[in-house]
Amino acid sequence: MLLTRIKGPRDLDRLSQEELLQLAAEIRSFLVDAVSKTGGHLGPNLGVVELTIALHRVFDSPKDKVLFDTGHQSYVHKLLTGRQDFGNLRSKGGLSGYPSRAESDHDVIENSHASTVLGWADGLAKANEVLGREDHHVAAVIGDGALTGGMAWEALNNIAAAKDRPLVIVVNDNERSYGPTIGGLANHLATLRTTDGYERFLARGKDLLERTPVVGRPLYETLHGAKKGLKDFIAPQGMFEDLGLKYIGPINGHDVEALESALQRAKRFSGPVIVHCLTQKGRGYEPAEQDEADRFHGIGPIHPDTGLPVSTDAASWTSVFADEMVKLGKERKDIVAITAAMLQPVGLKRFADAYPDRIFDVGIAEQHAATSAAGLATGGAHPVFAVYATFLNRAFDQVLMDVALHKCGVTFVLDRAGVTGSDGASHNGMWDMSIMQVVPGLRLAAPRDAEQLRAQLREAVEVNDAPTVVRYSKGVVGPAVPAVGRIGGMDVLRTPAPEVTRPDVLIVSVGALAPMCLEIADLLDKQGISSTVVDPRWVKPVDEALAPLADAHRVVVTVEDNGRTGGVGSAVSQALRDAGVDVPLRDFGIPQRFLDHASRKEVMAEIGLTAPDIARQVTGLVAKLDGRYENEPAATVD
């Protein structure tokens, strides 16, 4: 096999065009076989095989910087840079599903949030200029979906201003992000890809005129010099050239020879160049090509021959939200939904099918989504913006200054909150509760089960004078966790034995960690330590009934799947101090560090967020209060 002989990019140089075609076929076969076992981003990588080969033949990585936005299409890049062990892809100790500096010098960007690559490329090109590295090049690959993000256009505005600073921008145009790309830019690219094209016209004209004696060559040069007007007439690509960017394309993104030719021309140019490549997401694998939803953008383990899932999961948090949104849409005509290019992943496809006039896909533009939601709310609608928890980080200013300051009734639904695991550091939803704690007037719910998700979503959309947040985990929703009582607005999940006059521990359980907190209580009970477990349901603001309840216990423990700094534990601690309640408090959560990819269970064990770990520390704390271990330090949290 040719693939096994590729140890680095320069091994590609000696391959013929026929061998490159064979290599592309081998890579596709490898990807289907490997990713069907582990799960991962299959469709995007099948679409960039030839493009990645061409990039590594034209550019000399790692001296030249080859950058990928958002990075989920870097599997082919990994294969061509000496990483062909995909057996533990996205698992603990295996390859990351995104570029990783720890894996290779060929990887530059680890952040897998979209639309950032052009900002990185602009900075790297400036560094080359400042340091006089004229033999260093920068090539940034950005999809048409990522180009819908505002950051991409902020970067383009700056890149275009430096007309003599070399930089190659490769637009990987497959008409999709997760689903089909939408918006004005998508329409413009569609025009470019469907027009018979300036480059083809000019090539034919050059061939004809150069065969014409005497006047042929001068006439061609005159036409070439007038190319701006000619291009606008034949293929309206002026949007890029009006910015000051040289445009090459559209190029067949599955023709290595044509790609190399275009990239070589772009590399030789002394300023910024856009190379527009047309690719097919899922190419070469029939189940992916026929998948209308997302072309197998991200998959779990599948049967490679059929593309069908190996196992069918039980109901997920996302599916519970999806069903409830459809019901709400039927009951209230003012309910509208917003997605940032993730209609299917966040569970809004059913709502879109039922109410197509009340769904707004804004592209990869979370900031715009939040401010547009403020406008919708001001206009009398109640918008529900569903987004991954980690991506709401990008819209903090808009949540604060546009939604909250104006007291707009907008509901933010945060999917994949807490530890998500296999997608690595940038996808763990571990910052949202800390960030949202500082927003005045905002109310934040963390449902513990499907029943509570449905109930708290309904409570959230009833609020029309402030932003609300409902956040939940990734994956399968667990069994119902019934309440045994209610104190204030909090659900009581467990009470101590009736004869206990002052229980030892109050456990404040946040969201989906309720089963873990009940397990902690069971373990403490075996040590003779009594406990009460409460679910605040709405963790911001802190329920007024919590302080007197805490005062009736010896120790307070908070357990959350959010970063410890500024999270629910911090808010509860502040509320107790404000109420004059002097009870020891221990907050258990995610340490403030970037967590390597692994399964959710493995990550939780690594950071000590498990029932046995927490129960052990709480036991030590209670023992110290009892004076049983006077010479031992108090329990701490990593």
| Given 281, 471, 564, 586, the catalytic residue | 281
CA distance 279 to 251: 9
- Please report which helix (H) or strand (E) contains residue 180, including its range: none
Q: Shortest CA distance to 164 belongs to which of 270, 241, 275, 269? A: 270
* Per-residue exposure over 605-634, b if at least 16 CB sit within 10 Å of its own CB, e if not: ebbbbbbebbbbbbbbbbbbeeeeeeeeee
Question: In which element (H, E) is residue 247 found?
Answer: strand 246-252
- Helix 198-210 to helix 216-225 angle, to the nearest 10 degrees? 160
Residues 256, 259: Cα–Cα separation, whole Å: 5
Of 614, 606, 554, 547, whose CA–CA distance to 581 is shortest? 547
Non-local CB neighbours of 617 within 8 Å, separated by 6+ positions: 586, 588, 635, 636, 637
Catalytic residue status for 366 = yes
Q: Which residues of 585-604 are buried (b: 16+ CB within 10 A; e: fewer)?
A: bbbbbbeeeebbbbebebbb
Q: Judge whether 92 counts as a catalytic residue.
A: no
Active site residue 616: no
- Out of 283, 295, 358, 394, the active site residue is 394
Cross-strand bridge partners of residue 445: 470, 538
CA distance 638 to 629: 21
Q: Among residues 608, 609, 600, 476, which one has the least CA distance to residue 91?
A: 600
Q: Read out DSSP for 504-572? A: SEEEEE-GGGHHHHHHHHHHHHHTT--EEEEE-SEEESPPTTHHHHHHTSSEEEEEEEEESTTSHHHHH
Residue 70, preceding peptide bond in cis (omega within 30° of 0): yes
Please identify which of the residues 324, 366, 459, 560 carries the catalytic annotation. Answer: 366
Residues designated as active site: 281, 366, 394
